[in-house]
Chain A
Amino acid sequence: MRLEHWLFTLPLRIRSIFRRRQVELELEEELRFHMENRIEEAVRNGLSPEQARQQALRAMDGLEQRKEEMRDARRVHWLTDFIDDLRFAARSLRRAPGLAALVVITLALGIGMTSTPFSMVDALIFRPYPVPDPGRVVTLVSTSRDTAFGAFSYREYLDIRDNTRSYEGVVASVSPQSVGFSARPGETPQVRGGMMVSGNYFRVLGVEPQAGRVFRDDEDLAPGRDAVVVLGPDFWKREFASDPSVVGRVVRLNGRDFTVVGVAPNEFQGMFIFMRPDFYVPLAMAPVFSTNPAKNFFEDRDDRELNVKARLRPDATLAEARAELAALARGFERDHPQVSRDRGAAVRTQFEMRTRGDDINWKFSVIFSVLAVAVLLVACTNVAGLLLSRASTRTREIAIRLSMGAGRLRLVRLLLTESLLLALMGGLGGIVVGYGSLSLMQKFQIPSELPVTVPFRMDVRILMASVLVSLLCAIACGLAPALQSTRADLVKGLKSADEELPGRRRLWGRNVLVVAQVSMSLMLLTAAFLMSRSFQQSMVDGTRFADAPLLMARFDPRLVQYDLGQSLRFYEQLTARARSLPGVEAVGLTQSPPLGLDDFDRLAFVPDGLEMPRDRENFISTMDTVDEGFFQTMGIPILWGRGVLPTDKVDAPRVAVVNEQFARHYWPALALADVVGKRLRLERSTGPSVEIVGIAQTVKYRGTTETPTDFVYLPVAQHPVARLVLLLRTNADPLQRVEPLKGVVRSLDANLPISELRTYRDLYRYHAVEGPGVAVDMVGTMGLVGLLLASAGLYGLMAYNVSRRTREIGIRMAIGAGRSDVLRLVMGKGLLLVGAGTAIGLVLGLGVEQLMNAMLFNAGRVDFVAYLVVAPSMLLVTMLAAYVPARRASRIAPTQALRCE
């Protein structure tokens, strides 16, 4: 029945919409046919043709109303009206193309500049884990005095897994690491990013394989027994061309044969923001992969390398889980006081993990969001101002429409349609701008063999948000002017030529818009300026070594089954042969070069002779393992004492080099020279003693914006590690030494893979220059866009005021006012607004500076230079925007001005 109904009516509706003209013609023809017959009949009855026509019309009872009733019967009124409104809006916008273009561009910039930071925030903070029911996946962290987000050891993980009841399962993983991979035994291994996970990892997270199977829980029981591997989806595509027969094949990882048992689904790219692991292996295979060589992974309770996640039971609350874990942690502290003193444990949600205070991504997200909202506000106020001035120039037009009987609601709808059209075009433009700036970010290359990606992308939610924002803009910016203009006094509106209606409130509103714009833009500019200045400053201090012509290459002899002794012998030979290469000035080894991609190891120590606080066992410092050539090669000066010497062998007394910051931190009362000779105890006050033999200059270690950091260097012979970076200082282009270096490595072991083979400057440029550079550019662009929009807004308002007061100015000039008087009259208002905006903007700028200092630079001081540059230039630009229309006003010829309506 319903269906049959639509069978007849749907074609009619469609016809009424798309063939409107035809339908109208038929309506006319049908009525004409009736009228003609009626007239013929009357004439036959003896009336004159004119009388007959009159009678026929009367019988119709109002022909035009009847037609309107017939149109109403079509039930597509709302739509055809809307289409009419759209047509009308398009026509009237075409009459003011400059204004329309300005509004659309403003909105496009505003929305585009907002969607980029928002998609960053989305990727960094809000995007849920790619697993079913991600809201119940929580992270368990070990807490101590030094970290609120620590990892657990294998033993601790087993205890948590077996002694908690709030979870459906508890999983553990080790952060992705470099693994030597060969698709076939015998092939030269390539460096790929693999990740160790517990046997229940996929099952608990709810990840179903797209081929083969995932791990079984029992594949994680016996260390070294089950050599199985699950491939990541991207890796499977790249390396195996999505070949499903790969399941069951044997691949070689770090020299050991592993059987491929399955492939993770395409939706599951791992639990990280930036990393996409290439493959997964069971935790029990840890002996094949790199764990802390100084510890026993399976036994030592203080070898904390595991990230632990768990899936909450549907009937368990977060509070219960927290209480349970805290109780368990107290048990650890009681049972293992040696290694668990002062350690607690906590349950964190995904949101808590991503908004941790020490996370640079979160900080950038906050700052970008604040600035993006400011840009959007500037854009919206600008659009509101433009539409407002447009609405008031139409006072007369609207008054005529109202007096001819147009409904007020209908008129508001018409005006709203106009701003809706503008907003939609602006929104589309914004999406284009957003895509553009995001694709610029995507081009950004991260120099790493590990599968690192830039996760920012336009997804449906961002697009929806952009469209929503533009619609809100339309309503917010369009409604007020629409309501205002339809409320206009008809008589006055008709009488005067588009005259400004008296009323302080309205003017006040527009002034507020300008003040808001100026202050917001000033804030944006200040932020941009501060950011680029702090950035410049950060590049000056402690990064001088970055300009040296250095070639770097990373080796991990464990990938070809060397033991630690073999590895150290390999490095001895490697440095000796590399040093003798032509064009090489110095050679050094380091575990991770400063400003690199890897985080530094941490060293627990007690300064010898220092009374430790009762509740504290040791201090923690970042550290690096280096050889005797490192300081010279890297160009880091030794301020006092000596660097590492070839005589610092494994059997020699243990030594360390610390940086100046470290020395001042722990011996603030001593001169640097006196710190040399002091001793550290490793791990605890009864641990091995190490003598401080030298003080190195403090440099930047993790990033250029960091504050001075404690740092300890240990000689590689006394603190052996297998995975090291070789640095070659050359006398010319470092890249010319690539082939000779490869030759050296080949002569030592043809199968040993070389990774991260590049100039150090490339690494530095990425990490220290381009990464923050993107941020600086973005904030800078926002500042410029803000300034541009504010100037345009101010210019528009001033120009509008001048055109409004043309007659008044004419009269003033006719009775003797000079040009300068007029200039003063017009500029005065602009000055006042700009002044007020600047004052508020300075306050906002100080606020942003505090925010940025607190989150990024830790400078903690006010950068007056920034304000000295920004505020006057802002004043200058905005005054110019006010001056141009004011000058035009002063050039008005009185005769002409008086003649103008």
Chain B
Amino acid sequence: MDTLPSETDMSKPSDLVQGTLDLLLLKILALEPMHGWAISLRLRSISGDVLQVSEGSLYPALHKLEQEGWITAEWKQTENNRRAKFYSLTRLGRKELESETANWQRLSSAISYVVQLTEA
């Protein structure tokens, strides 16, 4: 984030494809209910430096998913006895995750097929 985006035609590789953040968040929450801070830690650990998700865009995305009815929120105590907003997947969210995953796999296999074609 300290470097300015290069002026080339190619997008920055770490920029998330549109809608990918939603898919990631749904996937993370499918494992267990979590609060925002834990989700940001998890994002950092699973994607490493390849996928840099700005912490700033995390919360608007979470709120958007909540308003879509895909995740639902609940205020609970953390292990350190502090109040935090825990998000969990709804039935609708699970359906959405399934269809989005299928979409993603179709798309990525198509792209990798195209990429291999040009190399061959």
Q: Which residues of A contact B (CB under 8 A)?
A: 1, 4-9, 12-13, 26, 29-31, 33-34, 37-38, 58-63, 65-66, 69-70, 72-75
Q: Beta-carbon contacts of B84-96 to A below 8 Å, as 1s and 0s?
A: 1100001110000
Task: Identify the closest chain B residue to A26 (Cβ).
Answer: B85
**The one of A1, A60, A74 that contacts B55, using a Cβ cutoff of 8 Å:** A60
Q: Show 7 A/B contacts (Cβ-Cβ < 8 Å), sorted by A.
A: A26-B85, A31-B59, A33-B37, A61-B55, A62-B56, A73-B63, A73-B64
Q: Do the beta carbons of B90 and A8 come within 8 Å of each other? A: yes
CB nearest neighbor in A for B38: A37
Residue of A nearest to B37 (CB): A37
Q: Are B59 and A30 in contact (CB under 8 A)?
A: yes
In the complex, how many angstroms separate the beta carbon of A59 from the nearest chain B beta carbon?
5
Distance from A398 Cβ to chain B, minimum over Cβ atoms (Å)? 32
Distance, CA A8 to CA B69, complexed state (A): 5
A110 CB to nearest chain B CB (Å): 44
Give the contacts of B35-94 with A (CB-CB under 8 A). 35-37, 40, 54-57, 59-60, 63-64, 66-69, 72, 75, 82-85, 90-92
List, in ascending order, chain A residues with CB within 8 A of B36's CB: 30, 33-34
How many angstroms between the C-alpha atoms of A103 and B6 in the bound complex?
60
| A-B contacts besides A34-B59, A60-B55, 7 pairs, CB < 8 Å | A4-B92, A7-B69, A30-B36, A30-B85, A34-B55, A61-B55, A70-B59
Known: A33-B35, A75-B67. A59 touches B56 (CB 8 A): yes
Given A7-B69, A9-B68, A37-B37, are A29 and B55 neighbors across the interface (CB < 8 Å)? no
Chain B nearest CB, measured from A844 CB (Å): 59
Q: Contacting A4 at CB < 8 Å: which of B54, B69, B82, B84?
A: B69
Question: Which A residues are in CB contact (< 8 Å) with B1?
Answer: 58
| Residues of chain B lying within 8 A (CB to CB) of residue A74 | 63, 67
Q: Is the CB of B69 within 8 A of A9?
A: yes
Residues from chain B with a CB closer than 8 A to the CB of A31 are 59
Residue on B nearest A76 in the bound complex, by CB: B67
A65 to B35, CA, bound (A): 21
B91 — which chain A residues lie within 8 A by C-beta?
Answer: 4
A61, B85: Cβ atoms closer than 8 Å: no
CB within 8 Å for A29 and B69 given contacts A60-B55, A61-B54: no
Which residues of chain B come closer than 8 Å to A29, judged between CB atoms?
Answer: 83, 85
Given contacts A4-B91, A8-B92, A33-B82, contact A38 B55 (CB under 8 A): yes
Q: Least Cβ distance of A61 to chain B in Å?
A: 3
In the complex, A62→B55 CA distance in Å? 10
Distance in angstroms between the alpha carbons of A34 and B35 in the assembled complex: 9
| A180 CB, nearest partner CB in chain B, Å | 74
Q: What 5 pairs between A and B have smallest CB-CB spacing?
A: A61-B56, A8-B69, A69-B60, A73-B63, A37-B37
* Closest Cβ neighbor of B84 among chain A residues: A33
Residues of chain B with a CB closer than 8 A to A13's CB:
67
Which residues of A lie under 8 Å from residue B67 when comparing CB positions? 9, 12-13, 73-75
Q: Nearest CB to that of A4 among chain B residues?
A: B92
Residue of A nearest to B92 (CB): A4
Contacts of B83 on A, CB cut-off 8 Å?
29, 33
Pick the most buried of B57, B59, B91: most chain A CB atoms within 10 A of its CB: B59
Report whether A12 and B92 are in contact in the complex, using a CB–CB cutoff of 8 Å. no
Query: Are A34 and B37 interface neighbours, CB within 8 A?
Result: yes
Cα distance A7–B1 when bound, in Å?
Answer: 40
Q: Which residue of chain A has its CB nearest to the CB of B69?
A: A8
Chain A residue nearest to B90 (CB atoms) is A8
Separation of A34 and B59 alpha carbons in the complex (Å)? 10
Q: How far is the CB of A814 from chain B (nearest CB, A)?
A: 61
A60 adjacent to B56 (CB under 8 Å): yes
Q: Which of B86-116 contact A (CB under 8 A)?
A: 90-92
In the bound complex, CA of A26 to CA of B62 (Å): 14
CB distance from A400 to the nearest CB of B (A): 30
The B1-59 residues at the A interface (CB cut-off 8 A) are: 1, 35-37, 40, 54-57, 59
Q: Are B37 and A61 in contact (CB under 8 A)?
A: no
Nearest-Cβ distance from residue A462 to partner chain B, whole angstroms: 42
Q: Which residue of B lies closest to A12 (CB)?
A: B67
> Hey, which chain B residues are within 8 Å of A58, CB to CB?
1
Tell me the bound Cα distance from A58 to B2 in angstroms.
Answer: 11
- Known contacts being A33-B36, A33-B37, A61-B54, is A70 close to B63, with CB within 8 Å? yes
Smallest distance from the beta carbon of A31 to chain B beta carbons, Å? Answer: 7
Minimum Cβ distance to chain B for residue A600 (Å): 77
Whether the pair A70, B60 counts as a contact (CB closer than 8 A) is: yes
- Distance in Å: Cβ of A15 to nearest Cβ of chain B: 11
In whole Å, how far is A13's beta carbon from the nearest beta carbon of chain B? 8
The listed residue with most B CB atoms (<10 A of its CB), out of A6, A12, A37, is A37
CA distance A601 to B59 in the complex (A): 89
Assembly CA distance A33 to B91 (angstroms): 27
How far does the alpha carbon of A72 sit from the alpha carbon of B59 in the complex, in Å? Answer: 12
Whole-angstrom CA separation of A34 from B64 in the bound complex = 18
Contact A12 B66, CB 8 Å, known A29-B83, A33-B35, A70-B60: yes
Contacts of A69 in B (CB 8 A): 60, 63
Q: How far is the CA of A1 from the CA of B91 in the complex (A)?
A: 10
B56: chain A residues at CB < 8 Å are 59-63, 65-66
On chain A, the residues within 8 Å of B55 by CB distance are: 34, 38, 59-61
Expressed in whole angstroms, the Cα–Cα distance for A63 and B58 within the complex equals 12
Q: Which single member of A5, A60, A65 contacts B69 (CB below 8 Å)?
A: A5
B47 to chain A, nearest CB (A): 16
Quote the shortest CB–CB distance from B18 to chain A (angstroms): 16
B6 nearest CB across to chain A (Å): 19
User: In whole angstroms, how far apart are the Cα atoms of A63 and B55 in the complex?
Assistant: 10
Contacts of B72 in A (CB 8 A): 8
